[in-house]
């Protein structure tokens, strides 16, 4: 007994040390620079503020070398504004530029993608060199001995290409004591004198009066001219103020949700609930460390994914604890019940998490921007939740047991299982669901005849969406009467109906949708908001998307959902070796998708990029719940070797045995999502509100629809075989 208590103390001590270590790293870091901590996490532009812009090559088939050169030039231009700028290819004809932590966003948007022409001209206006002849240019300061002592001189050092060196040797020889003008976009930026012939790959421009001027000249020469014509197809301008507010509200939502979930787990499961709560805290700290350590960029949907994963992480613990209570109720010892609970729950946990992981992988591959950030954090959360539930929860739970907490009352026991006739009520459930699905399809068809099927955001149809943080809260009527006319005038919109605004609940923020604004119109709108309404520049967020990109994103959304669903169903077929289960899952998923779409239609929610992440999350969540039931059906079918029970009884028993899991998992997940919807900013609410419907619908469909469909198809199959 002493040895067992000693083992228990060691397990709990190790678990607490692990928790303390992960907590220390998550909030302090590994070193003086706080590596691996919350403060080391890379924030996306929607949180840090800044500019994100996507350019499309105008030519249909630009060469790969030209696009590579254009990317490099844009990188150089972007790094002038921020050393943290990121420039990357999207496909073969698009270049994306992300510049965080900058304020003068409109200036950046105006200058970044300019075609640019860099030329060196003699006094007769002849072009003697161009940007292709310059490798690089760097500003520097040097000390010169003068009459009045050491003096600092500011220069620009040029490095020429081999072809440029040859040209420059001839040019300088022919223009001694004459000026060579450096012209960028038809504007003379410098006109140095030639003193001697220069036949070298390096030379310098001197006589500059400050280091700042030298750096500006070097930057202008460096960025040169973009070799392909580019057009802006998508841009985001996020004020730092809005990003900071999103972080604060999201952290608050996470803390409140985590506290409520921990309280629920302890009340429902006693000692196992305490073990799960400690493991859950460890899980959250591990999430922070992994995201920071692997340089995963955290976006606003990514935070939503983290908070959502807390609710979903509880699912594995609920499955395990329900099994433990069943084992204790059947008469086994507590120790055996703990071991059996983990082993018997393993297949359902693995299958459920793999299907959700498939959704995350598909989103990461086919998604872009913030959706990809959501997918990455969701994937990390799924993997860590399995480690947490199967490893850390078990460590704490067996530690408590070995320490001497061994009474059945501390773990709970299930002596009776509910005996609801779910299969018998199938006609009622099918009728209700059928009406909802039919109504959803009918509204989609009706809306299509009137214009657009759904209330698409600019993500899917193109345009400009501006989130504006007004200094003083206004009613919607005041916004429409005072703000909208000024916006229409600022952007030159004669048709007032093309300017629409929404007020963010319990906030001074408004969201305004307009036509796609060009650079001049964006500047005019920003200046008007600052002058007439006192809006600070960091309190304005603008998203610009062309109609072509919007259409493309809509198609990508459909492809993402279709591919993810197909992959999940193939996995179910592979794992269960049963087409019936896979087919029943298909219909259940379609049911959930159409019911959530019905909510979008009835509440007129906007459909944008978060719609993709939302639908795939709902699909993954629903199929997870369905798998738990089908896993129990498979187990009960194998145990009923003597065929004592009818197929209907097996399905009803399986559904009732997993009922507590279905209810409690929906409860914990719903808790996190509801807190997000209440506390989160507008973009978070756009994601959370449909998820509330999805969680409720997924819980209902897995219990009342999936089993009934599978039973119906298996019964019909047996009837055909007998015939």
| Two structure tokens written together for 705 | 């629809």
d(C-alpha 530, C-alpha 656), whole Å: 61
Q: pLDDT tens digits, residue range 633-691?
A: 988 888 876 677 888 999 999 999 888 888 888 888 888 888 888 887 777 788 888 98
Question: What confidence tens digit (pLDDT) does each residue in 222-260 have?
Answer: 766 677 788 888 888 777 666 777 778 878 888 898 899
Res 531 pLDDT > 80: yes
Half-sphere exposure (Cβ direction) of 178: Cα atoms closer than 13 Å: 15
pLDDT of residue 242: 66
Instruction: Give the least confident one: 62-66, 311-315, 355-359, 701-705.
Output: 311-315
Checking if the pLDDT of 382 tops 80, the result is yes
Compute the mean pLDDT over every residue in the chain, rounded to the nearest whole number.
84
Confidence tier at 16 by pLDDT (50, 70, 90): very high
In the 3-class helix/strand/coil scheme, how is 66-133 assigned residue by residue? HHHHHHHHHHHHHHHHCCCCEEEEECCCEEEEEEECCCCHHHHHHHHCCCCCEEEECCCCCEEEEHHH
Which helix H or strand E contains 160, and what residues bound it? strand 149-160
When mean pLDDT is compared across 504-508, 683-687, 692-696, the lowest value belongs to: 504-508
Question: What's the pLDDT score for residue 108?
Answer: 78
Give the dihedral of Cα atoms 355, 376, 678, 466; nearest 10 deg.
-130
Q: How confident is the model at residue 446 (pLDDT cuts 50, 70, 90)?
A: very high
| Rg of the chain taking only CA atoms, in angstroms | 32
pLDDT in tens, 590-641: 899 899 999 999 998 888 777 877 887 787 778 878 888 998 898 888 887 6
- Give 493-532 as a DSSP string: ---GGG-EEEEPTTSSEEEEEESPP-HHHHHHHHHHHHHH
C-alpha atoms less than 13 angstroms from C-alpha of 611 in its C-beta half-sphere: 25
Q: Are 185 and 223 in contact (CB under 8 A)?
A: no
* Helix, coil or strand: residue 182: strand
pLDDT, residue 83, reads 78
Indicate the pLDDT class of residue 281, thresholds 50, 70 and 90: very high
CB atoms within 10 A of CB 669: 28
The reported pLDDT for the residue numbered 620 is 74
Instruction: List the alpha helices (DSSP H) in 225-368.
Output: 240-293, 300-329, 334-366
Q: How many CB atoms lie within 10 A of CB 7?
A: 15
- CA dist., res. 636 & res. 653, Å (int): 8
**Reported confidence tier of residue 368, pLDDT bands at 50, 70, 90:** low
> Regarding predicted confidence, which is higher, 151 or 58?
58
């Amino acid at each position: 007994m002493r040895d067992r208590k000693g083992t228990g103390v060691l397990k709990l001590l190790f678990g607490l040390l692990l928790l303390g270590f992960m907590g220390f790293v998550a909030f302090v870091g590994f070193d003086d620079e706080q590596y691996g901590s919350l403060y080391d996490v890379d924030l996306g532009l929607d949180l840090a503020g800044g500019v994100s812009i996507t350019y499309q090559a105008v030519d249909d088939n630009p060469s790969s070398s030209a696009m590579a050169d254009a990317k490099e030039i844009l990188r150089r231009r972007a790094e002038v504004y921020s050393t943290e700028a990121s420039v990357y290819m999207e496909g073969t004809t698009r270049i994306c530029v992300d510049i965080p932590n900058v304020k003068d966003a409109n200036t950046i948007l105006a200058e970044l993608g300019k075609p640019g022409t860099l030329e060196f001209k003699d006094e007769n206006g002849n072009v003697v060199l161009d940007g292709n002849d310059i490798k690089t240019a760097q500003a520097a300061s040097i000390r010169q001995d003068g009459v009045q002592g050491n003096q600092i001189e500011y220069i620009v050092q040029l490095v020429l290409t081999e072809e440029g060196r040859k040209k420059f040797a001839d040019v300088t020889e022919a223009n001694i004591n004459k000026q060579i003008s450096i012209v960028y976009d038809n504007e003379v930026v410098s006109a140095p004198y030639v003193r001697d012939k220069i036949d070298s790959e390096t030379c310098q421009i001197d006589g500059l009066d400050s280091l700042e001027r030298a750096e500006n000249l070097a930057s202008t020469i460096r960025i040169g001219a973009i070799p392909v014509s580019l057009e802006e197809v998508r841009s985001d301008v996020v004020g730092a103020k809005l990003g900071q507010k999103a972080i604060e509200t999201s952290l608050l939502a996470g803390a409140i949700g985590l506290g409520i979930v921990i309280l629920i787990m302890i009340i429902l499961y006693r000692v196992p609930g305490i073990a799960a709560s400690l493991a859950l805290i460890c899980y959250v700290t591990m999430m922070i460390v992994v995201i920071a350590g692997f340089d995963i960029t955290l976006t606003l949907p990514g935070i939503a994914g983290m908070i959502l994963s807390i609710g979903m992480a509880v699912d594995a613990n609920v499955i395990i604890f329900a099994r433990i209570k069943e084992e204790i109720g059947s008469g086994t010892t507590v120790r055996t019940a703990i071991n059996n609970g983990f082993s018997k729950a393993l297949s359902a946990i693995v299958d459920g998490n793999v299907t959700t992981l498939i959704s995350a992988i598909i989103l990461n591959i086919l998604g872009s921007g913030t959706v990809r950030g959501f997918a990455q954090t969701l994937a990390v959360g799924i993997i860590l939740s399995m480690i947490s539930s199967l490893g850390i929860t078990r460590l704490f739970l067996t530690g408590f047991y070995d320490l001497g907490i061994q009474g059945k009352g501390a773990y709970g026991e299930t002596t009776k299982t509910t005996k609801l006739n779910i299969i018998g009520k199938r006609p009622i459930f099918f009728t209700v669901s059928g009406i909802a699905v039919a109504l959803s399809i009918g509204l989609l068809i009706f809306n299509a005849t009137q214009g657009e099927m759904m209330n698409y955001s600019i993500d899917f149809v193109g345009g400009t969406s501006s989130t504006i943080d007004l200094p003083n809260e206004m009613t919607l009527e005041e916004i429409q009467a005072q703000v909208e006319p000024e916006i229409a005038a600022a952007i030159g919109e004669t048709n007032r109906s093309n300017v629409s605004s929404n007020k963010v609940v319990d906030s001074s923020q408004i969201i305004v949708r307009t036509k796609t604004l060009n650079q001049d119109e964006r500047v005019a709108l920003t200046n008007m908001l600052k002058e007439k309404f006192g809006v600070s520049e960091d309190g304005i967020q603008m998203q610009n998307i062309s109609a072509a990109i919007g259409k493309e994103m809509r198609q990508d959304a459909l492809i993402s959902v279709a591919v993810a669903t197909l992959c999940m169903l193939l996995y179910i077929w592979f794992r269960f070796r049963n087409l019936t289960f896979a087919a029943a899952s298909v219909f259940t998923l379609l049911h959930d998708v159409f019911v959530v779409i019905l909510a979008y239609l009835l509440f007129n929610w906007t459909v944008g990029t978060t719609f993709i992440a939302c639908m795939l999350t709902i699909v993954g969540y629903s199929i997870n719940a369905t798998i738990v039931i089908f896993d129990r059906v498979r187990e009960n079918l194998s145990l009923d070797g003597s065929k004592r029970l009818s197929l209907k009884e097996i399905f009803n028993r399986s559904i009732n045995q997993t009922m507590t899991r279905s209810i409690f998992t929906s409860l914990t997940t719903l808790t996190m999502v509801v807190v997000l919807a209440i506390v989160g900013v507008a973009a978070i609410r756009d994601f959370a509100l449909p998820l509330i419907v999805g969680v409720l619908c997924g819980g209902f469909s897995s219990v009342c629809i999936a089993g009934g469909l599978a039973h119906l198809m298996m019964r019909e199959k047996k009837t055909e075989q007998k015939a």
